[in-house]
Amino acid sequence: MSRRTRTTPKTTTATTPERTGEVRLHKALADAGVASRRAAETLIAEGRVTVNGRTITTQGVKVDPGRDTIAVDGRRLREAGRRVYYLLFKPRGYITSASDPEGRPTVMDLLQGVRERVFPVGRLDWDSEGLLLLTNDGDLAFRLTHPANHVPRTYRVKVKGHLPGEILEAARRGIRIDGRRTLPARVTPISSQLNTWIEVVLHEGRKNQIRRMFERLGHPVLKLRRVAIGPIQDRRLRPGGWRPLTPGEIRRLREAS
């Protein structure tokens, strides 16, 4: 009777070599101050980004910014240099974008004298006003806008008509939009005459969220102003005005996110 011997498979510690310094393409764009990570994904999907002369439309591609030639709309990517942080009071009638194919005024038109290439963190729609952060710090922008971090945004909102208690409670619990319920919000009445002023604190940033919530509840928004981003507020800033953030404000934003 022969003895059967068991063989074990050979193992190797060899791995496929990877270039050090590789990051995902949308992060490289954000780190260079081109756009937020979400907006960078849109640039990639639209075929506006090339790597070593090849157009990239697939998300998740890894690049080495130190070795690869990356370009957006034919312009070669440059390192962002020093990180800068600005707080802007966005007026109504401006879009929250670095550029607009329709030629409408953007928040970038207000930053006269800023030499660095920055992008807005989050958004405020055309008819809304209030505080907006602009930076070339892609990591901080990502942390501030990521839904898991629940960084609060505070708004003063004027809605049509008088808000009964059940409407306020419905807004606080959350409204189903696009098949998904909004996160619970803090909604506090401020004053009420013919129409009602309320303070709304959100922990997520879905597109036109407050306007869509109160439209669904039968009380359209008449005015909307963002008055705080996390711990950052400035009652002295006027529409169209902007200023650099202080080191303390930057630190508090990092701690909040």
Give how many domains the chain has, as a whole number. 3
pLDDT of residue 20: 59
Helical residues (DSSP H) of 63-217, grouped into ranges = 138-145, 165-173, 209-216
* Residues 4, 163: Cα–Cα separation, whole Å: 83
What is d(CA 47, CA 54) in angstroms, rounded to the nearest whole number?
10
pLDDT grade, residue 248 (50/70/90)? very high
Tell me, what CATH number does 105's domain have?
3.30.70.580
Give the DSSP letter string of 45-65: HTT-EEETTEE--STT-EE-T
In a domain, 186, yes or no: yes
Mean pLDDT, all residues of the chain: 88
pLDDT tens, position by position, 231-245:
999 999 999 999 999
Residue 11's pLDDT band (boundaries 50, 70, 90)?
very low
In a domain, 2, yes or no: no
CATH number at residue 183: 3.30.70.1560
- Give the pLDDT band (50/70/90) at residue 7: very low
Residue 217 DSSP symbol? T
pLDDT above 80 for 88: yes
Boundary-marking domain end, from 54, 76, 98: 76
156 and 100 fall within a common domain: no
Compute the half-sphere exposure of residue 122: CA atoms within 13 Å on the CB side of its CA: 29
**Best CA proximity match to 121, nearest among 203, 184, 205:** 205
Q: Hey, what's the torsion of the CAs at 239, 118, 123, 85, to 10 degrees?
A: -70
Within a domain: residue 18? no
**247 and 196, same domain (yes or no):** no
Domain span including residue 71: 23-76
Q: Which two tokens stand for residue 204?
A: 């997520």
Mean pLDDT of 39-46: 88
Q: What is the pLDDT of residues 217-230, one digit of tens each?
A: 999 999 999 999 99
- 250/129 same-domain check: yes
- Assess whether 39 and 159 both reside in one domain: no
pLDDT of residue 176: 93
CA dist 59 and 65 (Å) reads 16
Residue 215 lies in a domain: yes
Positions marked catalytic: 125
Q: What is the pLDDT of residue 13?
A: 34
Structure tokens at 3: 């003895």
Distance CA 248, CA 240 (A): 23
Q: What is the pTM of this model?
A: 0.76
Same domain, 183 and 89: no
Same domain for 179 and 53, yes or no, is no
Q: Does residue 3 lie within any of the structural domains?
A: no
Tell whether 142 and 166 lie within a shared domain: no
Which position has the higher pLDDT, 78 or 82? 82
Is the residue at 69 inside a domain?
yes
Together in a domain, 156 and 224:
yes
Q: Are residues 211 and 246 in the same domain?
A: no
Q: Return the amino acid letter for 45.
A: A
| Per-residue model confidence (pLDDT) at position 19 | 57
